[in-house]
């Protein structure tokens, strides 16, 4: 049984960066493909990027290209999502999600990390 545990809430000023972590247990990170999805208050789900096992590369949504970096530390089975040049519109709950059942299923989710961007 895989479990994803995310880091705690963050409050950042406009222009700053935030780095959210997602700790994997029950599996090793190398066995999984990790995705990041965010949800602004009262809004829908938005895919930010994820690892594509067929290409062996991390693919980013075009909207976030150049501003987001997704990395992994296989020694601690922890995935990271760093978003830079924050603005108020980046205020959202950020989720990590992984494909355990089948590729591109996003069937296991972290609990979410609230990021608030405010001056």
Partner 1 sequence: QSVLTQPPSASGTPGQRVTISCSGSSSNIGSNTVNWYQQLPGTAPKLLIYSNNQRPSGVPDRFSGSKSGTSASLAISGLQSEDEADYYCAAWDDSLRAVFGGGTKLTVL
Residue ranges in contact with partner 1 by CB under 8 A: 35, 37, 44-47, 49-50, 52, 54-55, 59, 61-62, 95, 97, 101-102, 104-107, 109-112
- Contacts (Cβ under 8 Å, ≥6 apart) of 102: none
Q: Provide the minimum distance between the beta carbon of 15 and partner 1 in the complex, in angstroms, as a whole number.
A: 27
Q: Provide the minimum distance between the beta carbon of 95 and partner 1 in the complex, in angstroms, as a whole number.
A: 6
| CA–CA dist 119, 117 (Å, integer) | 7
Of 16 and 40, nearer to partner 1 (C-beta) is 40
Helix, coil or strand: residue 25:
strand
Helix, coil or strand: residue 118:
coil
């Amino acid at each position: 049984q895989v479990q994803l545990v995310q880091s705690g809430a963050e409050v950042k000023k406009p222009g700053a960066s935030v780095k959210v972590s997602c700790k994997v247990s029950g599996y090793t990170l190398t066995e999984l493909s990790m995705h990041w999805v965010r949800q602004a208050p009262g809004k829908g789900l938005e895919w930010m990027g994820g690892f594509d096992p067929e290409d062996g590369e991390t693919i980013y949504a075009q909207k976030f290209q150049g501003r987001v970096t997704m990395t992994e530390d296989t020694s601690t089975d922890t995935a990271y999502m760093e978003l830079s040049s924050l603005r108020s519109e980046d205020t959202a709950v950020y989720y990590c999600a992984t494909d355990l059942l089948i590729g591109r299923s996003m069937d296991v989710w972290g609990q979410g990390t609230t990021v608030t961007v405010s001056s």
